[in-house]
Structure 1
Amino acid sequence: MSRMTTDASVRARRPRRTGLYATAVASVTAAAVGLGVLAGTPALAGPRSAAPVVTRAALDPALVAGKGAKVAFAEQEAENAVTNGTVIGPDRDAYTLPSEASGRKAVSLAPGQHVEFTLPAPANAITVRYSIPDAPGGGGITAPLDVAVNGTKRSTMTLTSQYSWLYNQYPFSNDPGAGLLHPDWWITECSCVPAETTPAPVIDKPYRPSHFYDEQRLLLGRTYRAGDTVRLTVPAGSRAGSTVIDLLDSERVGLPHVELLAANVWAFGADPTGRRDAADAIDKAIAFARRTHLKVYIPPGTYRVDRHIVVDDVTIVGAGNWYTKIKGREVALDKPAADGSVHTGVGFYGKSAAEGGSRNVHLSGFAIEGDVRERVDTDQVNAIGGAMSDSTIKGLHISHTKVGMWFDGPMKNLRISDSIIVDQIADAINFHTGVTDSSVTDTFVRNSGDDGLAMWAEKTTNARNTFSHNTVQTPVLANGIAIYGGTDTTVSDNLVADPVREGSALHIGARFGAEPFAGKLDVKGNTTVRAGTYELNWNIGLGALWVFALDRSIDGADIRVTGNDFLDSTYNAVMLVSDWAVKDQYVIENIHFKDIRVDGTGTSVLSARAAGGATFENVDARNVGAVGVNNCGSFNFPATGSEFTLTDLGGNDGDWLAPWLLPNTITCDDRPEVVPPPAPGAW
């Protein structure tokens, strides 16, 4: 979905940022594909290094207990490890390497330099999130990274930037030297691009680099003990002038799952080496399994699939997503398909809703690795798609597709759980149009190119859906979790960190042609950190929770924001806004805040830029950068006060909601000074 919005009223000069989170930044970056060896016997303990620092979204895990996805890996930030490289960041300005890093910091390594992690628990597998430079003309390069455990080299990973580095305006380009994609659009962003990341040959182009990072998984070949060391070294002579390491995830992967009583794809001719296309063999296994009421089993191996596998009334089980990989190329079509696609690629698709959709589909225990390097919005090059009712998706690992999972209803009762979706060109998961009674739980998302998790009720409403206990980190564009219309929706106990530009951690939006909000919208028990980006088109800072009335009023649902923690918000904890062109037509009201903790804002707890009102009960705040409430209403500034009314229901601590602000005192500062807050701590 396009994220462009224009508003002539906010074309004013950008505020002085007072060095907001700024530092010098190296001008290099990159991407990755997996490489691995089978797990084996435990190794003896090796030399000890610095004590490991385990984090979740670069936070002390105690601050996010019970929030986000349950994952098998331990996260370690490179800036907390031992290195002879250079720590870059922190920085929250778009288009810089540290701004897209987890925790807004990373380590830059020149050839010959290293970063060394100490394992916090037994592990036989690692994931490295990294960046290397693009080729001068775009298209990516490859470069080596040596992996040693306890001083003994285990493997050399081949890093790539073929899946990173996008430029220009939405929907972006792979060419750093391209002219404007939309010369007719009002442009504010070119002046916001840091000089450090803009090479001289394209200084006058809409260069705007983004989507710098990628990640790669590696099985270590044996299980190592807690205290053993993993050293990542850039070899001398590397083609990459600099290699940036963001983090290392380590885990102990179990033995491959075996499904004995099943339609084994090997029996139908599937090639586990990836040399021959396996799509037809998988189709045959599915047809046989449906006739015999068996599951389909895909044993360990890499299976090449360059098109959609259509699934209906079938269970497909892999050996585990570290072992069974379905990998495909993006293929140009001879002529555009009826849906507008100009490419196809690897994916498991239910039948379209127009064909009645699919039912009773169960997918688990495998990885899907695509080959999508550009954003073409009409393309159906998603890992999972179509309509799937009464179905489950569990234990998948998805990378390098356009959208991890995109569902077009009507459809109902889909359960997605325990999956990992990384390095997408667009969204990770989108419930689009008529999806009901469905959920996403315990799913981990990192480096989506658009919304991490979204419900988009375009044309037909979504109803009774839930996003619960998920983790979304570093969405490069747009929001961590976005709800566009719908009825009786729940967003609960999620962890959302580090959105980069044109979005927030949590977003409630009446936009993109979505149906109205109705019934109840529960936003409860979530934690956001380092959220609330600078909206580069509006030149204002957003909130960690951003409520936006663009197409219509947000007033038809009972919206409850309860028990959330907003930590280290870059600008505001909460922003309620309508677009300037419709500010006197649409309102935001019937929204209720209760049992909220705000620990650190660059500007305010609440920024109101719309007519309407909200209630506040037991909202505690500390380390607030500017005035607690920045109440602009709809910018008419009547003598009776702001058009936005605040109702104090009691228990609001921290002096952010002082009596003189009630009910609608005008405190409007269009672009308040930013005061970076201290790091969040125990309440």
Structure 2
Amino acid sequence: MVAAATAAGVALSVALGGGAALADTRATAVPAPAVTRAALDPALVAGRGADVRFAEQEAENAATNGTLIGPDRTAYTLPAEASGRKAVRLAPGRYVEFTLPAAANAVTVRYSIPDAPAGGGVTAPLDVTVNGGAKKTMTLTSQYSWLYNQYPFSNDPGADLLHPDWWITECGCVPAATTPAPAIAKPFRPSHFYDEQRLLLGRTYKAGDKVRLTAPAGGAAAWTVIDLLDSELVGAPHVRLVAANVLAFGADPLGRRDSAGAFDKAIAFARRNHLKVYIPPGTYQVNRHIVVDEVTIEGAGSWYTIIRGHEVALSTPAPDGSVHTGVGFYGKDALAGGSRNVHLSGFAIEGDVRERVDTDQVNGVGGALSDSTVEGLYIRHTKVGMWFDGPMKNLRITGNVIVDQIADGLNFHTGVTDSLAAHNFVRNSGDDALAMWSEKTANARNTFDHNTVQTPVLANGIAVYGGTDTTISGNLVADPIREGSAIQVGSRFGAEPFTGHLKVTDNTTVRAGTYELNWNIGLGAIWFYALERSIDADIQVTGDHFLDNTYNAIMLVSEWSVKDLYSIDDVRFKDIRVDGTGTSVISARVKGSASFENVDARNVGAVGVNNCGSFGFPATGSEFSLTDLGGNDGGGTTGPWLAPWELPNTITCDDRPPVVAPPAPSPW
């Protein structure tokens, strides 16, 4: 127990950010409510990202007598995983107070509290008052946060290395070649610190009213970190009178007994009688998959209809390799013909997934769904919010909120075609927030449009692995934490090749470009990666804004072992804005070529083009060439970002240039 307690103490020290700024704000006053999007002035990201019903307010902009933590982008720290890389730490008895910017009757609080000394989480209260009135108590938990160690991670803060033969950047060595194996500080690589909780306030409050969050004395949490508050005016429950109401088939709205069987009966009755299924307000316990086909299922709204389940261990593994089951709505397997004409809307799915088991199908929505829609769901604490295995076609996923996942937020996996994900909000995914993965069978003609992604803990905000005729447009991606980028275009994970076109258009990334542990280098906000084959499709990056980049804005790279085999060819960048880079605008670590037209940059921390090519350093110049098509303006202290002397293929390689923290973004 002493060792475990020590480990927990180390976790706190590491998570708070070491040398990160810690300022006692002593009840600072805020003159007016500061509403942000991705922790920025909304004007800086206008027209980008999802249309959402809530207003975001960062705790660091609110009145508080707590302590500011951050800014810090160092992985494994609490500030780094916070929206905007800042948050407020409350000791027992301290508060943070938000001024409502508009009428609201509901709030969502994003927070972190400590893990239990030996792992497994704790629960603790948070008092909520409005204008000093009656107190409501929100129950916070760390049971779904605090992961440790190497992929696929551990819930044990005292665990030894899961893979002692892997490269460990922190000690700069290969443990298997070291005698004895290097000691590591425990807990090793703590992460996934945050969770969120929703609360209906019981009445509507007006703009200017004060919502105070207080960490009461005597709770189990030695500290409470508040990242942000989302406030919302939730409408009345949706009612469907003529429908197969699950209550008529024995569903329990109090959640005391499992309602899965009642849901199945309601679905079967609805199909026979050409009705919709209606799930009225309540909390329903469902501990397995609900299989859906040719059915419409409506809830009263995601704040009112909550479908919650335990994760259940299977006595024997399922044919797909799952060792657990849990709550989820699944189309039939593609090999069985899949499902079609499924329409899900207006309810929450809350799982109980606390560890990552890659073979498990414990996702909120899954299977194969063709000619279907998923709209207005709130999904949290599942493994992946939505994971689709094709072949399947014509799926529309719109207006959903997916938070606090162990792995991806949403993944179009294998043979998904002619499908769209638009105006979805994804926060705190444990892997790629939005992904298209063309494993074995290519995805084709799919679009991710006007989605918002915040704080993916591992990997990328939006990732495209192979596929044909793909569009990534109008998205807002902020604060990826480690080993990934805001947007990745990758030939990896056994993906089919990129063919046709790939259009990356009118997206905004904020505070992106993380530290890649395996390579010991910083990545770009957008990252092209030729690992398993060349990338030579028609790729157009147009109208994108890369703001406050931790390292590079744009990175094109291959892995060292295949650097002479694969290339990235003829990528076209046009009408781009780069506002702030810790290092360069372009980092090229691959052979190939790219062209640039009307790419404007400012506040560039290093030489504009860091061109290493494929590290052959031939006398003829870099193996990667750049073409200036005109209108490429601006730069930094080293001069124009795309200087004539850098073209077409001057070697300007600095493997790990010093990082200059960029200033905050501002109007262009």
Question: Taking structure 1 as the reference length, what is the TM-score of the superposition?
Answer: 0.91
Contact 2:123–2:139, Cα closer than 8 Å, also in 1: yes
Kindly provide the CA deviation profile for residues 324-364 of structure 1, in whole angstroms up to 9, marking residues without a partner as x. Answer: 00000000001111111100000000000010000000000
For the residues of structure 2 that align with 1:186 and 1:631, how far apart are their CA atoms?
Answer: 26
Partner amino acid for 1:492? S
- Displacement, 1:538? 0.8
**Out of 313, 324, 327, which is 2:294 matched to?**
313
* Structural mapping, 1:163-178, within 5 Å: 163-178=144-159
Partner amino acid for 2:600? D
- Displacement, 1:49? 6.7
Residue 570 of structure 2 corresponds to: 590
Kindly provide the CA deviation profile for residues 530-580 of structure 1, in whole angstroms up to 9, marking residues without a partner as x. Answer: 00001111110100000000001011x100000000000000000000000
For the residues of structure 2 that align with 1:624 and 1:634, how far apart are their CA atoms?
Answer: 24
Residue 625 of structure 2 corresponds to: 645
For the residues of structure 2 that align with 1:303 and 1:190, how far apart are their CA atoms?
Answer: 49
Residue 23 of structure 1 corresponds to: 20
Percent same amino acid among aligned pairs?
80
* SS at 2:667 equivalent: coil
Residue 249 of structure 1 corresponds to: 230
**Out of 643, 646, 667, which is 1:661 matched to?**
646
Contact 1:180–1:205, Cα closer than 8 Å, also in 2: no
For the residues of structure 1 that align with 2:185 and 2:42, how far apart are their CA atoms?
Answer: 44
Contact 2:30–2:61, Cα closer than 8 Å, also in 1: no
For the residues of structure 2 that align with 1:270 and 1:426, how far apart are their CA atoms?
Answer: 30
Residue 426 of structure 2 corresponds to: 445
For the residues of structure 2 that align with 1:190 and 1:475, how far apart are their CA atoms?
Answer: 25
Kindly provide the CA deviation profile for residues 504-536 of structure 1, in whole angstroms up to 9, marking residues without a partner as x. Answer: 000000000000000000000000000000111
1:487 counterpart = 2:468: yes
Residue 660 of structure 2 corresponds to: 675
**Out of 541, 554, 567, which is 2:535 matched to?**
554
* Structural mapping, 1:278-677, within 5 Å: 278-555=259-536, 557-654=537-634, 655-677=640-662
* SS at 1:133 equivalent: coil
Contact 1:480–1:506, Cα closer than 8 Å, also in 2: yes
Contact 2:363–2:386, Cα closer than 8 Å, also in 1: yes
Partner amino acid for 1:679? A
For the residues of structure 2 that align with 1:323 and 1:69, how far apart are their CA atoms?
Answer: 22
Contact 2:509–2:545, Cα closer than 8 Å, also in 1: yes
Partner amino acid for 1:23? A
For the residues of structure 2 that align with 1:219 and 1:560, how far apart are their CA atoms?
Answer: 45
For the residues of structure 2 that align with 1:190 and 1:153, how far apart are their CA atoms?
Answer: 53
* Structural mapping, 1:206-221, within 5 Å: 207-221=188-202
Residue 132 of structure 2 corresponds to: 151
Partner amino acid for 2:433? G
- Displacement, 1:256? 0.1
Change (3 A) 1:477 1:589: same
* SS at 2:442 equivalent: coil
Change (3 A) 1:57 1:191: farther
- Displacement, 1:236? 1.1
For the residues of structure 2 that align with 1:177 and 1:249, how far apart are their CA atoms?
Answer: 35
Partner amino acid for 1:155? K
For the residues of structure 1 that align with 2:217 and 2:186, how far apart are their CA atoms?
Answer: 33
1:275 counterpart = 2:256: yes
Contact 2:571–2:595, Cα closer than 8 Å, also in 1: yes
* Structural mapping, 1:65-144, within 5 Å: 65-144=46-125
Kindly provide the CA deviation profile for residues 372-431 of structure 1, in whole angstroms up to 9, marking residues without a partner as x. Answer: 000000000000010000000000000000000000000000000000000000000000
- Displacement, 1:55? 0.1
- Displacement, 1:205? 4.0
- Displacement, 1:458? 0.3
Partner amino acid for 1:384? V
* SS at 1:153 equivalent: coil
- Displacement, 1:50? 3.5
For the residues of structure 1 that align with 2:74 and 2:51, how far apart are their CA atoms?
Answer: 30
Change (3 A) 1:190 1:279: farther
Partner amino acid for 1:571? Y
* SS at 2:60 equivalent: helix
- Displacement, 1:186? 2.1
For the residues of structure 2 that align with 1:333 and 1:184, how far apart are their CA atoms?
Answer: 31
Change (3 A) 1:50 1:561: same
Kindly provide the CA deviation profile for residues 479-510 of structure 1, in whole angstroms up to 9, marking residues without a partner as x. Answer: 00000000000000000000000000000000
Contact 1:445–1:472, Cα closer than 8 Å, also in 2: yes
Q: Hey, which bits of structure 1, 4+ residues long, moved more than 3 A?
A: 189-192, 202-206
Contact 2:347–2:378, Cα closer than 8 Å, also in 1: yes
Tell me which of the two structures has the higher relative contact order, counting C-alpha pairs closer than 8 angstroms and 6 or more residues apart: 1
For the residues of structure 2 that align with 1:672 and 1:372, how far apart are their CA atoms?
Answer: 40
For the residues of structure 2 that align with 1:523 and 1:151, how far apart are their CA atoms?
Answer: 48
Partner amino acid for 1:447? N
Contact 2:22–2:67, Cα closer than 8 Å, also in 1: no
For the residues of structure 2 that align with 1:232 and 1:381, how far apart are their CA atoms?
Answer: 33
For the residues of structure 1 that align with 2:134 and 2:59, how far apart are their CA atoms?
Answer: 19
How much is the aligned-residue C-alpha RMSD, in angstroms? 1.4
- Displacement, 1:66? 0.6
Kindly provide the CA deviation profile for residues 630-672 of structure 1, in whole angstroms up to 9, marking residues without a partner as x. Answer: 0000001001000000001111011210111110000000000
Partner amino acid for 2:428? N
Partner amino acid for 1:661? E
Partner amino acid for 2:455? T
Question: Taking structure 2 as the reference length, what is the TM-score of the superposition?
Answer: 0.93
- Displacement, 1:24? 4.7
For the residues of structure 2 that align with 1:82 and 1:49, how far apart are their CA atoms?
Answer: 6
Residue 36 of structure 1 corresponds to: none
Kindly provide the CA deviation profile for residues 82-117 of structure 1, in whole angstroms up to 9, marking residues without a partner as x. Answer: 000000000001000000000000000000000000
Change (3 A) 1:25 1:492: same
Residue 222 of structure 1 corresponds to: 203
For the residues of structure 1 that align with 2:356 and 2:479, how far apart are their CA atoms?
Answer: 22
- Please list every run of 5 or more consecutive structure 2 residues that lacks an aligned counterpart in the other structure: 1-16, 24-28, 174-182, 635-639
Change (3 A) 1:21 1:374: closer
Residue 10 of structure 2 corresponds to: none
Residue 637 of structure 2 corresponds to: none
Partner amino acid for 1:505? A
* SS at 2:248 equivalent: helix
* SS at 2:265 equivalent: helix
Partner amino acid for 1:532? G
Partner amino acid for 2:20? T
Change (3 A) 1:49 1:639: closer
- Displacement, 1:184? 2.3
Change (3 A) 1:340 1:190: farther
